[in-house]
Structure 1
Amino acid sequence: MSTEKSPPKAKAVKKPRANPISRMRRERGSDVFQTLRDMAISYQLKPGERLSEIELAARLGVSRTPVREALARLVTEGFLEPCTRGYMRRPLQVQDVLDMYEARMAVERECLRYAVERASQTQIDEMQSFLDKSRAAAPGTAVRELVEFDEAFHNRIAQMSGNGELARMLGNLNERVRFIRWIDMEKVGRDSTQKEHGAIADAIARRDNQAAAQLMDEHIALRREQIVEAVTQGLARIFLADELA
């Protein structure tokens, strides 16, 4: 008879239980960040306005901690900047908007170049289907929804590039110029935008990098005088809304 002992059984490792309080705090923090980011995008946080953690926390009905964390993130994303004893909404200035459009054009060019090289036929077909759907939007569609369609088209190209970092950079730039694009879309209208999207999509389908790049540059470029006009209109809307309230 063998006297060898069986090796001891390994003890099962218990997985740590998810802490519901921690999860609730994370979710609340995410909600606070999203709310404040939306307020920054639409300039409910006024250009140059100093932000109070206490006032924002009371306004949102939360503690100061998620507000403080959200404000710090909004600095890194370019919506806010540090000031004495806190943060303020970055001013709406012509040069800043011009810089963002130049940066957006550079990122879009790279996204497009890679998309022409890497996009699968399935992705190209899906892009065409998306354009058909956006063209079918009812007349009188709200400007904000038209801008959403436009951003979605450009985001598709970024995804087709296969480069997640470029897609992330484009997403941030789109959010930061969205307010100006709402104003610009009112003048440009959907017909012009849809035609330009269709031409870009056709160039991608043909794998014609040169034509696609030229069409994209013409599509997203704004002259300095256009930016001056859009910023002027934007500032009037932001501050006139308070006077009319």
Structure 2
Amino acid sequence: MPHKNEIWLPYNTRKVDIYNKYAEECEERSQKFCCEESFRNMWKYFYPHVSIKTCSLFTKCTICVRLGRNLAKTRDPVKRREIKLKRQEHDARQMAERLAYYQRREAARKEPEKYLSLIVDGMDQAKTYLPHFVGDKSKDLTTADQMKVHVSGVISHGHGLRTTYVDFFEYPHDSNLTLNLLLKLLGKLRKPLPPILYIQADNCYRENKNKFMLAFLDMLVHMKIFREIRCSAVWPTNYVIKRPTPLNN
């Protein structure tokens, strides 16, 4: 976790599943592997900071929740194997998207004159309401008694710019919010801007996956502010806008 010296594995992960995966990979490579008891002892001794939480601090995607529920409902070994395979494929696709984002981020850090990589996100609303209380809250306190505060952040990888914006829900949280955040950050960056822009955003149709967002990005390319824009969201969304290149005679 970025705010704690801990590593949390996904909610509902089981150590036996991790061991089985480790044993399978060793068998595929024709390598020796330890027994499950030794595996657990090494985990406890060498990786005490790696833990599995019994509850999730973050919301999960619909597919993860559905597969988890289906797995908990059935005891049929064939169906359980099919569900586990689907979950592995889903996790692999999500990890591939994360790795692609890391590659784009690293490209912007190594060649800031060529790439601009931005990530836009907002905090969970319930965590930013004021006043903020540590620990248990009284049942007499409701969200209606608190000031609604929303915090959004934008990071420009490779250009050393991190910005935070606060609003009090004075305007709708739709594509207008996202576009204003992007405009404010682009205005702060040094000129000229790199020719290729990467944007990583939430997989939310209200704020990012809509015609207004696409029209704005298309306008940036049409006005030759950027030659190419790649906007990526949490799987499966990924769309690209490029400026047409004249054909050579």
Using the size of structure 2 for normalisation, the TM-score is 0.22
| More strand by percentage | 2
Q: Which has the larger radius of gyration?
A: 1
Between the two structures, name the one with larger relative contact order (CA 8 Å, sep ≥ 6). Answer: 1
Using the size of structure 1 for normalisation, the TM-score is 0.22
| More helix by percentage | 1
